[in-house]
Chains A and B, each alone.
Chain A
């Protein structure tokens, strides 16, 4: 198999200490690479690296990648608005923020990602998507797939099987898209539904769509077949050999500096802190002993941190000193359940130890933390 022989070639060149000519070769007008990693952060870091460091004048690149379960939000989106963060945490599904614009998507191994790297001048999304459709039709002529003017690919004229996003820099640009082959639609729909109410934000909203897997149209299709078909079509259109080179995103010799990019993509400051300013205005229903009442909660969150915090409690429900300590602690803290839990439990240490107070405090704090 072509894939295998190239793998050996790379390995061999390592041993012989010859330049990896077969890899970054500029002899041809294009290069097709595929990641061996399923880590969303590592793969996004590869995109960043190529975008920042490579000269794409003579050579365009097609990057093929798949991720283990992850939700990927667009550069300017609000994760609280886009997905069920509680569910993500429970199910250990990663959350990543990519550098391109667009909406939120769910990745798992049944979804393939394609990134088309070109110079900024040669940036052209429609052409790329038409290439994908051509490849699909070549593989299975009976598939009813077409590209819309919103840069989506639809199956059977109504189901979205691919979403698109792009990033443009000074000299380079990339256009990437997803392609649903055999993803878990159940998990997809449950994680992409936000339970958070009362959010007001100018972040880019996602446009929900009905999705379908290509597997549902033709059960003989696999991710590997699709990757191969698309690579083949790309090779034809770029007049290059149909070789897919495997790359390891953790390889610092191939991508000097990539581990820093990978780390940055995982920081809280990037994933949550880059959320455009938003506010929460909601009523929390509290049931305590024999009474049931609503408390109004208003918060402004900037850079993922609580800028302003207002909790409308009934008078004297909590000792006033404690209430103001709570507001003071929350202000400036991350809008994050873990950090809030730490702060509120610490504050409780400072109080008179009485069960009544403890119960009220716990009830209030649990409800506040649920908003995050």
Chain B
């Protein structure tokens, strides 16, 4: 029993003849060949067994490796159904029908046989009817899919390949004027649209897989009878928004952040901010950068900030401490393992530089380079990411001035550094000069740190950075 393929218009709702058409708007064609079909009586919702077609090279069996659909999914013609493998060849099996998958005949890793049923597809029940003449099949054709964009009741016609091309280029089909039959959007239309957008030259389109019919208009017998056919020619179309919410589980880096921040909630934070004049430091770094480069190291401002913080922690060790679970004991950590917040592709990570108290600014720069390259390659080790006692977050490299950073347990303080801006300031003589200003925002655990301590630490840190030469006095 042949299933006839017919192109009809959805507006035809009455039964025109003694034949009940299965298809409503879909015009399904057998692939590749021209054939003549007689219409024949077909019942609605018929289940078709889609057989595994010939793979070539005399192959009779393949292994099913992946299903792209499951029972109950609806598919359109040319949608991928599954991936099978035979002797180093991976084959994508695509659907020949529009319909709903009713049965998968194989599980993953089963052997499937050529010529035997692969899936059962229930062809859509029809709403209309097809005319009874012979239908001349044409080569794989554009046809109306179920998933048309309905814009003001008009459907945009395009084949799956054209739709994919539009999707890959973020083009809304509604913005393109189709030049094919019935204002069908062709591949050329998309390429022309792209060309106009980018001003680029495109090759005379490498012929699309699916070629518009060779103008054999008798291939569309429904045409003359479609009195109620709508020809969409609106002047402007409001763009229908078809976005959907997407829910996915929280895993990986996000999960880590959820855990950390939930723990941080228990800490009563207080904030303290200040402004630092980095004019002298900027100049110093300019002088030292080439020296560091000769030694093969990139020198940023961070090593200075980190070393100054360590010098400050020597005077205010409570900021480098840890409070136990029951808030019974405070542990003053001997090592200054200063964490540096890093933004990677996957998310936020905070590796730390160990024992800053015994490192020179250059040592810190070397270590930072190492951590940064490992971090961007996703290869930081556990020791790099544990043992931190104090953290600095240089959010200013991305932007912003003030922040309210969250303390990373089991630490008790954190500093967020804003971006360096050139701003006018008054000097001692009351003159306006160009200053390189950066803002710092500290957060501290108010259970054991008081405002005065934080302020004094900040002032000390600030003084080291505003007058880098003073760091020399206290360097160990």
Contacts and interface: CB of A to CB of B under 8 A. Distances in A.
Contact of A369 (B83, B208, B331, B382): B382
Given A253-B201, A341-B385, A101 B56 contact: no
A36 interface: no
B255 A329 contact: yes
Nearest to A98: B90
Given A256-B169, A257-B165, A20 B409 contact: no
A369 B333 CA distance: 28
A30 interface: no
Interface in B201-253: 201-204, 206-209, 211, 249, 251-253
A337 B380 CA distance: 9
Contacts of B385: 341-342, 345
Given A168-B90, A168-B92, A19 B204 contact: yes
Nearest to A174: B89
B255 A125 contact: no
Nearest to A13: B201
Interface string A87-130: 00100100000011111000000000000000011011100000
Contacts of B251: 305, 332-334
9 contacts: A18-B201, A151-B88, A172-B209, A253-B201, A274-B66, A338-B379, A339-B253, A349-B408, A350-B259
B263 A350 contact: yes
Residue from A120, A253, A256, A343 with most neighbouring chain B CB atoms (10 Å)? A256
A342 B88 contact: no
B91 interface: yes
A165 B88 CA distance: 5
Say which size band chain A's interface belongs to.
35 or more
A19 B57 contact: no
B61 to A, nearest CB: 14
Residue from A19, A55, A343, A346 with most neighbouring chain B CB atoms (10 Å)? A346
B310 to A, nearest CB: 20
Contact of A55 (B78, B209, B377): B209
Nearest to A121: B56
B56 A256 contact: no
B284 interface: no
Contacts of B92: 167-170
A344 B259 CA distance: 11
A92 B202 CA distance: 36
A14 interface: yes
B382 A365 contact: yes
A24 B206 contact: yes
Interface in A312-362: 329, 332-334, 337-339, 341-350, 352-353, 358, 362
Nearest to B200: A253
A111 to B, nearest CB: 18
Given A170-B94, A339-B252, A369-B382, A53 B208 contact: yes
Given A76-B65, A276-B66, A338-B380, 10 more contacts: A19-B203, A20-B201, A57-B207, A76-B83, A168-B91, A171-B140, A253-B198, A256-B202, A342-B256, A344-B382
A66 interface: no
Nearest to B383: A362
A21 interface: yes
Interface in A291-327: 305
A24 B202 CA distance: 10
Interface of B: 31-32, 55-57, 65-66, 78, 83, 85-92, 94, 108-109, 140, 161, 164-165, 168-169, 190-191, 194-195, 198, 200-204, 206-209, 211, 249, 251-253, 255-257, 259-260, 263, 322, 324-325, 331, 346-347, 349, 377-383, 385-387, 408-410
A3 interface: no
A136 B244 CA distance: 55
A349 B263 CA distance: 9
A202 interface: yes
Contacts of A92: 377
Contacts of B208: 53, 55
Nearest to A22: B203
A172 B209 CA distance: 9
A144 interface: no
Contacts of B346: 338-339, 342
Given A253-B201, A257-B168, A349 B260 contact: yes
B324 A260 contact: no
Contact of B90 (A74, A124, A358): A74
Residue from A101, A103, A366 with most neighbouring chain B CB atoms (10 Å)? A101
Per CB-CB distance, the 8 closest pairs between chain A and chain B, nearest first, are: A257-B168, A102-B88, A55-B207, A101-B90, A166-B89, A338-B378, A345-B385, A253-B200
Contact of A347 (B169, B257, B259): B259
Nearest to B347: A342
Contacts of B383: 362
A352 B89 CA distance: 55
A369 to B, nearest CB: 7
A319 to B, nearest CB: 12
A164 B90 CA distance: 12
B89 A19 contact: no
B253 A260 contact: no
B348 to A, nearest CB: 9
A343 B252 contact: yes
A254 interface: yes
A55 B139 CA distance: 13
A6 interface: no
Contacts of B200: 252-253
A104 to B, nearest CB: 12
A333 B324 contact: no
A165 B86 CA distance: 10
Nearest to B263: A350
B31 A170 contact: yes
A175 B408 CA distance: 54
Nearest to B187: A53
B352 to A, nearest CB: 10
B371 to A, nearest CB: 13
A143 interface: no
Contacts of A349: 259-260, 263, 408-410
A89 B322 CA distance: 36
Interface string A161-195: 00011111111110000000000000000000000
Nearest to A366: B382
Contacts of A369: 382
A17 interface: yes
A152 to B, nearest CB: 10
B256 A54 contact: no
B201 A342 contact: no
Contacts of A254: 203
A57 to B, nearest CB: 8
Given A55-B208, A123-B56, A166 B168 contact: no
Residue from A20, A103, A168, A277 with most neighbouring chain B CB atoms (10 Å)? A168
A16 to B, nearest CB: 9
A352 B328 CA distance: 12
A171 B382 contact: no
B8 to A, nearest CB: 25
B56 A120 contact: yes
B252 A101 contact: no
Nearest to A352: B325
Nearest to A89: B379
A75 B85 contact: yes
A74 B450 CA distance: 61
B90 A166 contact: yes
Contacts of B259: 329, 346-347, 349-350
A123 B90 CA distance: 13
B57 A75 contact: no
B56 to A, nearest CB: 5
